[in-house]
Structure 1
């Protein structure tokens, strides 16, 4: 019997791609709001004795999480065998430490909520800083799809003679992996952050790389300040027009407009955006099939 895939207010293109990759049946739901803004939800597809995968991108999660939990609970009551979650962007991973008294380490209660209502989780390169693995806070099987091979493939197909550049020392392991897969050299910046919009970067020696195309690679572009300052330094050094690549393109404020004016900007389909050029569906489908078969 086919797996059912239900799209909860997420990318319809990715939904169609995943249905094809998973050979899944598209699940239908009715979703609306009552006048008091409470949610009405009804599952229209028979899910009894079927595995169900919910596609719910938890980027900007606060308006989605309750609907996700309501849907997961309803599917269990209908007799679904497994209820899993595909979320290309996994929210509430940045707050992984209490810096001030009374602060909520939000990654932990959020992980408990997801773990209590779902059977497994598939995501793409979550923000793992002080946590090394998702199972440190999630109690369900959780698979991380790594974007490095996908980014490397895109670079190989679209950029000649690339030089990969990482934003800071913490990125070296990740950027070096992309560089190795792409068969390209890499350099790592020194970065001093004074605030969300105040970043100073120091370039390594780029004289020997002036005939290469600089490719800045990071997991997230938010304010874009690091990349903007780096692109300016590279331009002053006489290097060709840079390409900025990120797994997750958040683009706070006018970050995208500013970056696009000085560089080519490319992101994955994890967060739908005009810059989304790197497809993720095949890799997500492989990870999902493995969890469904456990």
Structure 2
């Protein structure tokens, strides 16, 4: 096997793929994508992959060019073509994993779509899947039979926040009870880096038919900087409710920390929310709504995380 890994970045993911390649000190591998008038497509590598360790990066979030299902099919078919061309091992790098929110049955006869996506990737011959901050870590680990690697952006966020917050006391907040494990993990990383172990808190939240209710807060945040942790934001309603609750319960400042800034229509209100001091997001996806005032939004690059994962996997 050739020592140097081959890294491909599919359409819509080229910018992040180039950043990962730069971190590794390699060139992005070349490929061809042809789209036909009837909606079908063909993708193939433009260089030999025989016997090589191949990494395919694609963020599975729909944008103006390709919807989420188009991107998923592009990834699956490209992995298939690479395996057919003799690749030694193929790893899917997923800054954002589509369908990860539907990881359990909440109603009778509900699908478990996370598992179906895992089966599709495995069927195409994927040897390893690397994903950034999926909605449910346990569901992700259990869905795959091939090797699955879960990346976290917590350290990147903590490094950015500690420069802004300094020695002020903080509280780590989950916007709902289901995210408490994520908040606990962030708290652990904060403690490891800063030496200070902050308390945690969470919001009461009920969602039914797309409507969110509940505004009780469990935990004390009086005279503390509140750091609200969530894996993704779409419309922003839940985050804003949490921000306002933190302010009403005595927080001196409020920071939103969101890994995947999906930002669908209606999320513009996040940028204008005077109650939130700053919003920190990663570049795992391209936000569908941009901020007019970027001074309150900090984008944390995640290329370093994926480059480190490639090094670890490639070197064993």
Deviation, structure 1 residue 233: 3.0
**Alpha carbons 1:200, 1:226 under 8 Å: kept:** no
Partner of 2:293: none
The aligned length equals 289
The answer as to whether partners of 1:168 and 1:188 remain within 8 angstroms in 2 is no
2:117 alignment counterpart: 110
Structure 1 segment 59-74 matched on structure 2, within 5 A = 59-60=61-62, 61-74=68-81
1:129-144 maps to which residues of 2 (within 5 A)? 132=138, 134-144=140-150
Matched, 1:119 2:127: yes
TM-score, length-scaled by structure 2: 0.82
1:109-168 CA-to-partner distances (Å, cap 9, x unmatched) read 211111122111111111117xx2534221111100122222222211233324322223
Q: 1:180 to 1:40 in 2, by over 3 A?
A: closer
CA distance in 1 between counterparts of 2:82 and 2:307 reads: 21
Q: 1:165 to 1:99 in 2, by over 3 A?
A: closer
1:221 is matched with which residue? 233
Partner in structure 1 of residue 95 of structure 2: 88
Structure 2 residue ranges without an equivalent (≥5) = 63-67, 191-195, 291-296
How far does residue 102 in structure 1 lie from its aligned partner after superposition?
A: 4.1
Corresponding residue to 1:252 among 261, 264, 271: 264
Secondary structure, aligned partner of 1:244: strand
Instruction: Report SS of the residue matched to 1:209.
Output: coil
Find the aligned partners of 2:30 and 2:233 in 1 and give their Cα distance: 34
CA distances 1:202-226 after superposition (whole Å, capped 9, x unpaired) = 23465x732x332211122223222
TM-aligned CA distance change 1:99 to 1:172, over 3 Å: closer
Tell me if structure 2 keeps the 8 A contact 1:269–1:276: no
The correspondence for 1:186, drawn from 189, 196, 199, is: 199
CA contact (8 A) 2:44 2:82 kept: no
Contact 2:201–2:219 (CA under 8 A) maintained in structure 1: no
3-state DSSP of counterpart to 1:149? helix
Measured in 2, the distance between the counterparts of 1:168 and 1:29 equals 42
What is the CA distance between 1:237 and its match in structure 2?
A: 4.7
1:245 to partner: Cα distance = 0.9
Q: 1:175 aligns with which of 183, 190, 202?
A: 183
**Structure 1 stretches of at least 4 aligned residues deviating more than 6 Å after TM superposition:** none
TM-score between the two structures when normalised by the length of structure 1: 0.87
**For 1:25, what is the secondary structure of its paired residue?**
coil
The answer to whether the Cα contact below 8 Å between 1:163 and 1:209 also exists between their aligned partners in 2 is: no
